[in-house]
A and B are shown apart, each in its own frame.
Chain A
Amino acid sequence: MHIPDGYLSPQTFVPMYAVSAGFWAVGLRKLKAQLTVKQVPYLSMAAAFSFLIMMFNIPIPGGTSGHAVGGGIIAILLGPWTAVIAVSVVLMIQALVFGDGGITAYGANCFNMAIVAPFVTWFIFRAVAGNRKSGVRPMAGAFLGGWLGLSVAAACAGVEFGIQPIVAHGPGGAPLYAPYPLSIALPAMFFGHLLVFGPFEGVVTMLLVKYFYSTDAGFAAAGAQAAGKKRWKLWLVIAALAALTPLGIIIPAKLGGGDAWGEWGAETLRKMLGYVPAGFKGLHNLWNPPIPNYGAGAASSGTGGYLASGFTGAVLAVGLIYLLSKFLKGGHKSSRLSYLDKGLSHIAKVTKNSYVQWELSSRRGFLQELDARVKVIFTLLMLAAVNIRKDLPTELVIAAFIFILALASKADLKLIYARVAFIGFFFGFLIALPSALNIITPGRPILTLITLREAHSFWTYTIPREIGITSGGLFGVAMLTMRVANSVSLAMLVLFTTPFTEIMRALKTFRVPDSVLAVVNLTYKYIFIFAKTVEDMHLAKISRTAGDVDGSEARRWAAGRMGIIFKKTQTRCDEIFKAMLSRGFTGEMRLRGQGAMKKSDWLALLAACAAGITLIFV
């Protein structure tokens, strides 16, 4: 139902833009007034869902194909105005990035799919379901709503197609844009959707209503966050949907479903009509999308590209909705903390985390009993093994080993591995990800994402014709992610089981210069003072703030506070230096050493060395 460029005359698409713009304006205003921070994830989830569901093409064998829109279910769960915005955002991504639906026809497409479909579904659902939350009526309402919503939307598209020969024709009466009259276009669009795609939309809508209404009886537009506990499950569903997108081209190809009605290209049109309408010629190549046809163009590798497009589109939809929400909420009065505020209080949390670390270190466990020197040697050996070995099994063995040690030390596994996952993802996986492509690591792709018309060469550099993920690249990504994760978990574990002061002393035993230790130690201490200052000032601010503070004022506040904090910091440093001078500090620092190691420490040291050497060389 995505009308491409060239099918609608300016006499049609300009008014359609105007009508849709009215709805967008109201929708954005409603969203701005009602949107809460908690609803944003659902809104973005809805957009991602809508994007993906449209990728599941349903064939009518031997004829055309079509798809559901998902606008109806969004209207039922989050309200029709929310659906207007969510689906419009999705249609924009499809038009701009994937070339599905025209730029000029965007207004009309939004009218059909983002306005008519959600509202019709919503009205029918309300009429049938009433206030019931369970039983047959909501189910029936959802099915009927989804079915008829899409069908009416298709009928609108049919009318838009059908009036083109009337409103825009050449001197001889030849149509300039969409060539078929109302008598053909309207039935073709309407019946296809009424009989096949509409019922599919109805079933999807009904199943989702069933899911949400049974999960939480009170689930309604405003209470979307009520199901908050299940949110990660919903994201899983979205991800699964994205993973299944290839079905959306495999099934139509198997069953011989052709292009969707009214979405033919210039060549197809010439075959069907014997000519290409004059106005169509001028408009249909208006926009060159970066990923045309969802990457499904290349015959052999189409599914990979389609899959990647599914994920890309879903991520884009989520991202755009987040940006939009931020934009909407930007000038809105709210009691939320500003970003700077959040950042500052986040820094302050460092203090608390360190308390946790100290508390953990004093908890009884295997690693806590060991001498810090043994732990430092062990860490160095393991880090060497992690980074020297070039095979995944060793990395996995080390990961398992660290995990067992963490268990034996009764460490807070959730705390450690949450950080490991975070750092591993950003500094391992994301950084290495581009190298999985054969643009960077040469090799034969095992999964082709994009196929170019030809290979490009510049100087010594070549972009291959088929761009995709290579097995070597994939291995590299896995290795780097594992290495980062192993290094981080090791460091965390040792830090969490050793008081900071013990580590300092152990480093002294290894002849790290006193001045270096003094600097590290002062920095470490200083972080606490800094964090405490920030936290105190933050609390002082909260206690003095009544009611809402607008964004710019909050930013001014935070900026001023940063200045004061830095000034305080400097004064504090001066004072600490004086305190050191007063106690005889002359520039060279003398620190206390450490006691002798126990027998068990020596044993552990031996074991650590043996394990390290085995891991590195065997």
Chain B
Amino acid sequence: MEIAVKAENITYSYYGKINALSGINIEIGRGERVAVIGSNGSGKSTLLQVMDGLIRPDAGRLFYMGREVSQASLKDREFQRFFRGGVGYVFQDSDVQLFCPTALDEMVFGPMQLGLSEEESLSRAHDVMAELGIEGLGGRPSYMLSGGEKKRVAIGSVLVMEPEVLLLDEPTNGLDPKSQMFLIELMFRLNENGKTIVVATHDLSLVDELNGTVAVLSEEHKIEKTGPADTVLSDQELLLKVNLVHEHIHAHGDTTHRHVHSHYQFHRH
């Protein structure tokens, strides 16, 4: 399988003090579905931002489609277009991502920066908006959108750039069940069309639904384990260690018992 994104020995710390990533090695194959999981503060978002070339790691190297992503290569206009057009990033907070006057402007922003003509940008924008069911929102400013609508516009604004790799940071966070389902189905549809999907999350049911490769980040900011979803999710000891599940005591009738609590394992719906 062709490697889309490859991270080699990435180390990153905030202000040179607070460690966020230490010695991360990860390979993401083209067309794969990958979930990066870990507790709050384990470095998921940081890893995604490194993969998008938004922050420069203290040490280590990043490759996209075999070409190195670095400060120097990002200065090259041709590579910049290739990389920015190839990797899309959906921020956890949609408010951060929506900076244009209206939803439609949001849609055409990316394509126009990549040098597409206005007509082509607009036609792509309309296609994507139809696909996401937000055709009617074009004229609205972002502060007049609901949380779910914002998320769709944010994803749409990335999809119009037709990226190969889609990085999503906690995409289902704060969405209602219907919007969550829509999002999960969308990710599958995109994946079936050959897109690589990388999701950072601590929502184990989402990891289960996605059913792809899982990389587990420990609280020491290292990759604890990489493997298929079902193996990782059934490894209670590992999940307990990285604080994604917790011990739980509760009563069934007269008997009290203690077990590891994970909504994936015991409370499957």
Chain A interface residues (CB < 8 Å from chain B): 351, 354-355, 358, 499-501, 504-505, 521-522, 525, 528-529, 572, 575-576, 578-586, 590-593
Q: Are B96 and A592 in contact (CB under 8 A)?
A: no
Q: Are B99 and A593 in contact (CB under 8 A)?
A: no
With A500-B101, A579-B96, A592-B108: A584-B142 Cβ-Cβ less than 8 Å: no
Number of A-B contacts (CB under 8 A): 80
6 A/B residue pairs, CB under 8 Å, sorted by A: A525-B99, A525-B143, A579-B89, A583-B109, A584-B81, A584-B114
Minimum Cβ distance to chain B for residue A478 (Å): 40
User: A500–B141 Cα gap in the complex (Å)?
Assistant: 9
A interface footprint on B56-90 (CB within 8 Å = 1, 0 otherwise): 00000000000000000000010011001100110
Minimum Cβ distance to chain B for residue A116 (Å): 63
With A585-B113, A590-B112, A592-B108: A576-B96 Cβ-Cβ less than 8 Å: yes
With A591-B105, A592-B108: A522-B99 Cβ-Cβ less than 8 Å: yes
Q: Are A501 and B93 in contact (CB under 8 A)?
A: no
With A578-B49, A583-B158: A521-B101 Cβ-Cβ less than 8 Å: yes
Any chain A CB within 8 A of the CB of B11? Answer: no
B99 neighbours in A (Cβ, 8 Å): 521-522, 525, 576, 579-580
Q: In this complex, what residue of A is CB-closest to B104?
A: A592
Listed from nearest, the 9 A-B pairs whose CB atoms lie closest are: A584-B113, A501-B101, A584-B84, A583-B110, A590-B112, A575-B96, A582-B89, A579-B97, A578-B54
B113 neighbours in A (Cβ, 8 Å): 583-586, 590
Any chain A CB within 8 A of the CB of B164? Answer: no
User: A576–B121 Cα gap in the complex (Å)?
Assistant: 22
User: A340–B109 Cα gap in the complex (Å)?
Assistant: 39
Chain B residues touching A, majority SS: helix
Any chain A CB within 8 A of the CB of B25? Answer: no
Q: In this complex, what residue of A is CB-closest to B80?
A: A586
B52 neighbours in A (Cβ, 8 Å): 582
Minimum Cβ distance to chain A for residue B172 (Å): 19
Interface positions of B from 203 to 237, Cβ below 8 Å from A: none
A interface footprint on B91-105 (CB within 8 Å = 1, 0 otherwise): 101011101111011
A586 neighbours in B (Cβ, 8 Å): 77, 80, 113
Partner of B141, one of A358, A575, A580, A592: A358
Partner of B84, one of A354, A501, A579, A583: A583
User: A592–B118 Cα gap in the complex (Å)?
Assistant: 7
Any chain A CB within 8 A of the CB of B157? Answer: yes
User: A580–B142 Cα gap in the complex (Å)?
Assistant: 15
User: A355–B141 Cα gap in the complex (Å)?
Assistant: 10
B118 neighbours in A (Cβ, 8 Å): 592-593
Minimum Cβ distance to chain A for residue B161 (Å): 7
Minimum Cβ distance to chain B for residue A508 (Å): 11
Partner of A529, one of B95, B104, B110: B95
Partner of A584, one of B54, B85, B91, B96: B85
Minimum Cβ distance to chain B for residue A356 (Å): 12
User: A358–B122 Cα gap in the complex (Å)?
Assistant: 24
Any chain A CB within 8 A of the CB of B144? Answer: yes
B80 neighbours in A (Cβ, 8 Å): 584, 586
Q: Are B100 and A521 in contact (CB under 8 A)?
A: yes
B112 neighbours in A (Cβ, 8 Å): 590-592
Q: In this complex, what residue of B is CB-closest to A593?
A: B118
Partner of B105, one of A351, A501, A576, A581: A501
Q: In this complex, what residue of A is CB-closest to B102?
A: A501
A583 neighbours in B (Cβ, 8 Å): 84, 88, 109-110, 113, 157-158, 161
Q: In this complex, what residue of B is CB-closest to A584?
A: B113
Interface positions of B from 105 to 164, Cβ below 8 Å from A: 105, 108-110, 112-114, 118, 121-122, 139, 141-144, 157-158, 161
A584 neighbours in B (Cβ, 8 Å): 80-81, 84-85, 110, 113-114, 161
Query: 9 new A-B pairs (CB below 8 Å) besides A501-B105, A592-B105?
Result: A358-B144, A500-B141, A501-B139, A521-B101, A575-B93, A578-B49, A578-B55, A579-B96, A591-B112
A499 neighbours in B (Cβ, 8 Å): 139, 141
User: A432–B121 Cα gap in the complex (Å)?
Assistant: 53
Name, among B88, B89, B101, B141, the residue most crowded by chain A CB atoms within 10 Å (CB to CB): B101
B91 neighbours in A (Cβ, 8 Å): 575, 579
Minimum Cβ distance to chain A for residue B131 (Å): 18
A504 neighbours in B (Cβ, 8 Å): 101
Q: In this complex, what residue of A is CB-closest to B93?
A: A575
B157 neighbours in A (Cβ, 8 Å): 583
User: A533–B77 Cα gap in the complex (Å)?
Assistant: 37
User: A580–B89 Cα gap in the complex (Å)?
Assistant: 10
Q: In this complex, what residue of B is CB-closest to A590?
A: B112
B122 neighbours in A (Cβ, 8 Å): 592
Q: Are B121 and A592 in contact (CB under 8 A)?
A: yes
B84 neighbours in A (Cβ, 8 Å): 582-584
User: A576–B109 Cα gap in the complex (Å)?
Assistant: 14
Minimum Cβ distance to chain B for residue A596 (Å): 14
Name, among B81, B141, B142, the residue most crowded by chain A CB atoms within 10 Å (CB to CB): B141
A522 neighbours in B (Cβ, 8 Å): 99
A592 neighbours in B (Cβ, 8 Å): 104-105, 108, 112, 118, 121-122
User: A522–B113 Cα gap in the complex (Å)?
Assistant: 17
Minimum Cβ distance to chain B for residue A527 (Å): 10
Q: Are B96 and A525 in contact (CB under 8 A)?
A: no
Partner of B142, one of A355, A525, A572, A593: A525
Minimum Cβ distance to chain B for residue A6 (Å): 70
A355 neighbours in B (Cβ, 8 Å): 143-144
User: A529–B96 Cα gap in the complex (Å)?
Assistant: 9
User: A546–B91 Cα gap in the complex (Å)?
Assistant: 37
